[in-house]
């Protein structure tokens, strides 16, 4: 299976306030690469978001804005590329809103949400939060709400699901973003 797993952290409740992004690339069922960057959201940081993800205006001082990051990752978002995220609705909305903020056309790509896959494949879990699913599957998640740690966990969740159940149940949950 080939896909990327992505995770955004935001500075506040606005979806166009991305302050960090991580991408983990999977080729032939193996994690082969990763990308992580802080992002200057060019907006105010909310106390609660900083408390959750540990990122503040001081943390992103000197970081690129998303318009500067996008050319480096845009080739990963194509119509035939599968993008996984845990709570994909959130991460895709952050991507689309942040691109709109910089007047960049949003790409279309295939997406799969590991919250949805885990709900289907592990209905016995008390919830399907990233840390709960990772714990259940014995996947390391040392620094929850760090975009890179969360992306690795998402990638490993999807890889484990495919290993345990095959690709068919996953394919049924793929949508176009």
Provide the whole-model pTM.
0.97
pLDDT in tens, 93-143: 999 999 999 999 999 999 999 999 999 999 999 999 999 999 999 999 999
CA 156 to chain centre: 12
The pLDDT of residue 114: 98
pLDDT in tens, 42-70: 999 999 999 999 999 999 999 999 999 99
User: For 164, what's the count of Cα atoms within 13 Å in the CB-facing half-sphere?
Assistant: 12
The pLDDT of residue 7: 98
pLDDT in tens, 5-26: 999 999 999 999 999 999 999 9
In a 3-state reduction of DSSP, which class is residue 100?
A: helix
Number of helical H runs and strand E runs in the chain: 7, 6
The pLDDT-based confidence of 31 (bands split at 50, 70, 90) is: very high
The pLDDT-based confidence of 73 (bands split at 50, 70, 90) is: very high
**Are residues 76 and 38 in contact, defined by beta-carbon separation less than 8 angstroms?**
no
Alpha carbons 176 and 134: distance in angstroms, whole number:
25
The pLDDT of residue 24: 98
The pLDDT of residue 111: 98
Domains and CATH numbers, the chain: 3-176 (3.30.420.10)
Alpha carbons 113 and 170: distance in angstroms, whole number:
9
């Amino acid at each position: 299976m080939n896909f990327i797993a992505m995770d955004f952290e935001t500075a506040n409740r606005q979806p166009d306030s991305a302050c960090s992004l991580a991408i983990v690339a999977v080729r032939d069922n193996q994690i082969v690469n990763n990308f992580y960057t802080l992002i200057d959201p060019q907006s105010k940081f909310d106390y609660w978001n900083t408390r959750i993800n540990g990122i503040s205006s001081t943390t992103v001082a000197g970081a690129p804005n998303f318009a500067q990051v996008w050319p480096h990752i845009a080739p990963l978002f194509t119509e035939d590329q599968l993008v996984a995220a845990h709570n994909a609705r959130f991460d895709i909305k952050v991507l689309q809103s942040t691109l709109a903020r910089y007047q960049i056309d949003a790409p279309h790509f295939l997406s799969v949400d590991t919250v949805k896959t885990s709900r289907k494949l592990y209905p016995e879990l008390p919830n399907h939060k990233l840390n709960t699913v990772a714990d259940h599957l014995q996947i390391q998640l040392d620094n929850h709400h760090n975009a890179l740690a969360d992306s690795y966990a998402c990638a490993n969740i999807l890889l484990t699901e495919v290993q345990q159940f095959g690709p068919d149940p996953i394919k049924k949950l793929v949508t176009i973003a």
